[in-house]
Amino acid sequence: MKSFLRKLFRNPILMDYGMLVVLLVVSLFLSWATYREGEAITGVEGGRSLAESAAGRFPGGVFIVISSNTGADSSALPDSESVLKTLNDLHCTVAAVIPAADSLPAFRREVREAYRNQAKIDGIILVDSSKERWLRSALRGLETEREPAVILPVRRKESVFLKQENLVNIVRQASVIAIIAAGMTMVIITGGIDLSVGSLVAFSGVVTALCLKQAGGVPLVGLIALIFLFGGMGGFSLGMVFGRRRWGLLAGVAISIFLAFLSGTSAQNHVLGIRPVLPATVQAVKDAAQSQAGGLYLFYDGAKPGAQEFIEKLKQTLATQTQIPVLGERCVLATESVSVEEAAKEAAEEILGSQPDLKILFGMDRDIHSGLNRAIDAVGATERLVAVRAVTDKTGLVLFAVVVGILVGCLGGAMSGVVITGFGIPPFIATLAMMLVARGISRYLCSGVPIWDLPEEFEFIGNGYLFQEALGNKMPVPVAVMILVFLVGHFVLSDTRFGRYLYAVGGNEEATRLSGIQVNAVKFFAYVITGGLSAVAGIIMAARLQCGHPETGALYELYVIAACVVGGTSLMGGQGKILGSLIGALLIWVIFNGLNLLYVDSYLQQAILGLVIFVAVLLDQAKKRFSG
């Protein structure tokens, strides 16, 4: 028996592609287990199949055909003309054709009248299966020798698991775990573990959402301060790792100065993120003026850089391109006791009382626009007044928020790395503490309440598709990010010095240190990469949900570790492949998806996942025992 196991575990195909074989076997089983009746066949083919089904049950029979009603979507139903033509070709008789009524009483009356006028009816063909309950209600109580058969549209036999939408959804769901697993693989290869990844998912998502909530963009001063903060802390962390704190801090400050200079020269109007779009704003005012003929009043926040300049350009453009009179403009400023929104409301109420010809109120940003709407509601002029908001491009803000979110994740990973490498704290304890810190801060930042109402441009990261014209809905953005991460990760582990150092540290840390390799630096960067990839996953989740939720990422650390272990990464360190972790993540999500399709209880699903991890660990131990 032992000789057989040695041969089995020394087989290169099993060693390198064992989990891939398991994934294929599980997929084949689910394809068979979920083979069932799917959607009804529609169109001409559906009409022909429906008629052939009726003629097969009653050759040469007499039928009543109930077609779809006028409001139904004919493309989603079998074609009624094809039903009639095929019945005629098959030498069947159509006794009556009834268009389906919109109400149950009318439907019952039409069916009963058509049935009573015929001496013999073998079956009733129903084109729209949603009316089956109505039809059976109409036939109930008829005085007949035998009730006619109800013939419904033919449904395709298909595997629900193999449907394109389901497969794309599996890969999309697995992509978040797989992205984190790419970094976790590096950490586990060094002999460590990171329990903070789930909390960093929530932390980065909340921070990104908070950045996106900046209605007027991020001031340049705040951006520079943030750059110096992250640059200084990053430099200090590098100094801790390499044992030269002063030089590391100076390097961080130097990098910060360079990035601050770069940001200062590229920022427009000393504000980063939200750029008002003049042509689209002018068109929005024109659209409002079509239904609200009258004057226009402009409101803007004088504390927002570039706001007054935009208002001047808007006035000039409206004067040259439209006949809309500008009755005035008002600079709204917040105070210690009054917000911008409240100040805009009070100013608008004052102006509405003195401007009877006023029809359109224009707000420069979201807060002012909200205050103007409140003023309109307060004076009861919702029918004669309309509030218009400046159209903005928030692509820069989304980019800034994403960068900050990733930096936050890297900072969390760096803190874990510094504690582990600089103070010798075991990775389990250090990352457990980081898990609690990150989760607590994320809850504090949003007071435990999800941050909603994020820009539409941000949603593309979580729910958008790349190359949609060529591929359709087959390449979600998260999947593309996952592919990029694993291609880069595979290259790093296979063809770079850093990858070889990771395996060396996990295989024998003391020998690696004696070889002159900076062991602490290798471990540190492994945790930084994991934190950054956790942040990427958190940003994707926030974009998918369109909110920054402090409870996102719960139990993700378990799923990620499971994906790595199932993919062949040894918890003892020194062994593992990043593509194996991808296979492990896909396998876990294929199992979850299959259990859902098979209607397995959600509590049992957790137990089954635990068994999968248990078997994977046993296989890892058996591989070590018998492959030597």
Q: What is the pLDDT of residue 291?
A: 64
Terminal alpha carbon distance of the chain:
16
Contact 438, 552 (CB under 8 A): no
Q: Per-residue pLDDT for 503 more than 50? A: yes
Contact 531, 412 (CB under 8 A): yes
Is residue 215 very low, low, confident or very high in pLDDT (cuts 50, 70, 90)?
A: low
What ranges in 446-476 are assigned the alpha helix state H? 456-463, 468-471
Task: Clarify whether residues 337 and 310 are in a common domain.
Answer: yes
Q: Which of 84-93, 143-152, 316-325, 360-369 has the lowest mean pLDDT?
A: 143-152
Is residue 615 very low, low, confident or very high in pLDDT (cuts 50, 70, 90)?
A: confident
- Tell the residue number behind the tokens 């930084």, with chain if given: 528
Task: Compute and round to an integer the Cα radius of gyration of the chain.
Answer: 33
Is residue 505 very low, low, confident or very high in pLDDT (cuts 50, 70, 90)?
A: very high
Task: Clarify whether residues 27 and 175 are in a common domain.
Answer: yes
Q: Count how many Cα atoms sit within 13 Å of the Cα of residue 231 in the half-sphere of its side chain.
A: 17
- Report the C-alpha gap between 186 and 527 in whole angstroms: 8
Q: What is the pLDDT of residue 269?
A: 43
DSSP letter assigned to residue 147: P
Task: Clarify whether residues 483 and 589 are in a common domain.
Answer: yes
* 147, two tokens: 């009730």
- Torsion angle, alpha carbons of 569, 575, 580, 586, to 10: 10
Contact 364, 301 (CB under 8 A): yes
157 or 175: which leads in pLDDT: 175
- Torsion angle, alpha carbons of 15, 484, 595, 156, to 10: -110
Q: Report how many helices (DSSP H) and strands (DSSP E) the chain contains, helices first.
A: 25, 14
Boundary-marking domain end, from 140, 159, 178: 159
Most confident range (mean pLDDT) of 100-114, 123-137, 463-477, 521-535 is: 521-535
- Torsion angle, alpha carbons of 539, 576, 559, 611, to 10: 170
- Report the C-alpha gap between 388 and 334 in whole angstroms: 21
What ranges in 59-142 are assigned the alpha helix state H? 80-89, 104-116, 132-139
Q: Is residue 553 part of a domain?
A: yes
Q: Is residue 610 part of a domain?
A: no
Q: What is the pLDDT of residue 176?
A: 96
Give me the chain's average pLDDT, please: 84
Is residue 230 very low, low, confident or very high in pLDDT (cuts 50, 70, 90)?
A: low
Counting residues of the chain whose pLDDT is more than 70, the rounded percentage is 84
Q: What is the DSSP string of 546-590?
A: TSB-TTTTTTHHHHHHHHHHHTT--TTSS---HHHHHHHHHHHHH
Q: Per-residue pLDDT for 68 more than 90? A: no
Q: Which of 113-127, 278-292, 358-372, 542-556 has the lowest mean pLDDT?
A: 113-127
Q: Is residue 463 part of a domain?
A: yes
Cα 93 to the center of its chain, rounded Å: 53
Q: Is residue 416 part of a domain?
A: no
What is the 3-state secondary structure of 173-205?
Answer: HHHHHHHHHHHHHHHHHCCCCCCCHHHHHHHHH
- Report the C-alpha gap between 498 and 492 in whole angstroms: 7
- Report the C-alpha gap between 496 and 83 in whole angstroms: 66
Q: What is the pLDDT of residue 545?
A: 92
CA-to-CA separations, 527 to 180, 193, 197, 412, in angstroms, rounded? 11, 9, 10, 9
Task: Clarify whether residues 435 and 382 are in a common domain.
Answer: no
Contact 522, 502 (CB under 8 A): yes
Q: Per-residue pLDDT for 229 more than 70? A: no
The reply to whether the predicted model has a pTM over 0.95 is no
- Torsion angle, alpha carbons of 252, 253, 259, 263, to 10: 140
Q: What is the rounded average pLDDT of the residues 280-286? A: 90
- Report the C-alpha gap between 134 and 111 in whole angstroms: 10
Q: What is the pLDDT of residue 274?
A: 74
Q: What is the pLDDT of residue 27?
A: 92
Counting residues of the chain whose pLDDT is more than 90, the rounded percentage is 36
Residues 9-16: contacts with CB under 8 Å, at least 24 apart: 9/622, 9/623, 9/626, 9/627, 10/626, 10/627, 15/623, 15/627
Here the CATH number for the domain that contains residue 124 is 3.40.50.2300
User: In which domain, by residue range, is 297 found?
Assistant: 275-393
User: Exposure of 30 by Cβ count < 10 A (0-12 exposed, 13-18 middle, 19+ buried)?
Assistant: buried
Contact 71, 102 (CB under 8 A): yes
Task: Clarify whether residues 19 and 87 are in a common domain.
Answer: no
Q: What is the rounded average pLDDT of the residues 397-412? A: 88
Task: Clarify whether residues 92 and 25 are in a common domain.
Answer: no
Task: Clarify whether residues 49 and 30 are in a common domain.
Answer: no
Q: What is the rounded average pLDDT of the residues 178-183? A: 96
Contact 572, 584 (CB under 8 A): no
* 225, two tokens: 């301060």
552 or 16: which leads in pLDDT: 552
Task: Clarify whether residues 584 and 518 are in a common domain.
Answer: yes
Contact 463, 544 (CB under 8 A): yes
- Report the C-alpha gap between 612 and 22 in whole angstroms: 11
Q: What is the pLDDT of residue 139?
A: 79
- Report the C-alpha gap between 283 and 289 in whole angstroms: 10
Task: Clarify whether residues 487 and 498 are in a common domain.
Answer: yes
Is residue 189 very low, low, confident or very high in pLDDT (cuts 50, 70, 90)?
A: very high
- Report the C-alpha gap between 404 and 408 in whole angstroms: 6
Task: Clarify whether residues 522 and 583 are in a common domain.
Answer: yes
Q: Is residue 530 part of a domain?
A: yes
Q: What is the pLDDT of residue 14?
A: 60
- Report the C-alpha gap between 184 and 190 in whole angstroms: 10
Show Cβ contacts of residue 119 under 8 Å, excluding neighbours closer than 6 positions: none
Q: Is residue 361 part of a domain?
A: yes
- How many domains in the chain? 3
Task: Clarify whether residues 372 and 284 are in a common domain.
Answer: yes
- Torsion angle, alpha carbons of 438, 209, 187, 618, to 10: 90
Residue whose C-alpha is closest to residue 63's, from 146, 149, 134: 149
| pLDDT tens track for 550-581 | 999 988 998 999 899 888 888 888 888 899 99
Q: What is the pLDDT of residue 529?
A: 93
Q: Is residue 563 part of a domain?
A: yes
Show Cβ contacts of residue 34 under 8 Å, excluding neighbours closer than 6 positions: 159, 160, 161, 162, 594, 597, 598
Task: Clarify whether residues 330 and 368 are in a common domain.
Answer: yes
Q: What is the pLDDT of residue 11?
A: 62
